Amino acid sequence: MTSKLKLIYKKPWFFALSFVVLAFALYRFNYFYIGLVNKGGGYYSPFLDHYLNYPHWLQQILLKSASGMLHLFGVDNFVYHDSIKISRGVWVNVGYSCYGMGIITSFWAFVIAYPYKTVKKKLYFILAGTLIIILTNVIRIALVGFIFSRFKTVRQHADLHHDLYNIFAYLVIILMIWFWLKENKKSNVHPGN
């Protein structure tokens, strides 16, 4: 990289602009891709649906992991398509908005745009952070199933868990980033090193 590019790369405005552009691009790409792998989508691709349907993979990871967690807590359930069926007539549906893809892409955009880390450290942090975000989502889905199966009166506030999870997940991301940046001060890594 030339010295002028390195100077621009270090500017806070460049980081902020890169973050916003990347977050928007990744977020929109996911919705475009969902249209490619969804039979009702305008540009459906059977090949991508069958071989590279990562939204479906993520959904199944969330469903099966949350179902297993519910079994650990003694809640009888089974996974059926895009839902977990729990005894007492409770269904926990895991639709596209439940996947956490918006939260994950915001996290990825921040990490990719941040100038003071090596590519290797960024990839490691993206992997670790994504797994933590998915784990928090699994816990949320299992908790929703557990609470809804035990307390009927809570079901009327079913949509509240989305907002609460988003707040919690962004707090987790802020903490992860804080530790990651704190580590940066110790290692004193700068672009180009």
Q: State pLDDT tens for residues 93-108.
A: 999 888 999 999 999 9
Predicted confidence (pLDDT) at residue 4 exceeds the cutoff of 80: no
pLDDT at residue 28, as a whole number:
96
Within a domain: residue 87?
A: yes
Within a domain: residue 178?
A: yes
Domain count, the chain: 1
Fill in the amino acid letter for 22: L
Within a domain: residue 35?
A: no
Band of the pLDDT at 61, cuts 50, 70, 90? Answer: very high
pLDDT at residue 2, as a whole number:
67
The reported pTM is 0.87
Predicted confidence (pLDDT) at residue 192 exceeds the cutoff of 60: no
Within a domain: residue 120?
A: yes
Predicted confidence (pLDDT) at residue 134 exceeds the cutoff of 80: yes
Domain that holds residue 129: 54-187
Predicted confidence (pLDDT) at residue 139 exceeds the cutoff of 70: yes
Predicted confidence (pLDDT) at residue 50 exceeds the cutoff of 90: yes
Cα dist. 14→20, 72, 102, 173 in Å? 10, 47, 22, 21
Within a domain: residue 44?
A: no
182 vs 135, higher pLDDT: 135
Predicted confidence (pLDDT) at residue 193 exceeds the cutoff of 60: no
Q: How far is it, in rounded angstroms, from Cα 58 to Cα 135?
A: 11
Q: How far is it, in rounded angstroms, from Cα 191 to Cα 18?
A: 15
Within a domain: residue 192?
A: no
Which range has the worst mean pLDDT, 20-24, 95-99, 149-153? 149-153
- Helices and strands, number each (H, E), in the chain: 7, 3
Within a domain: residue 6?
A: no
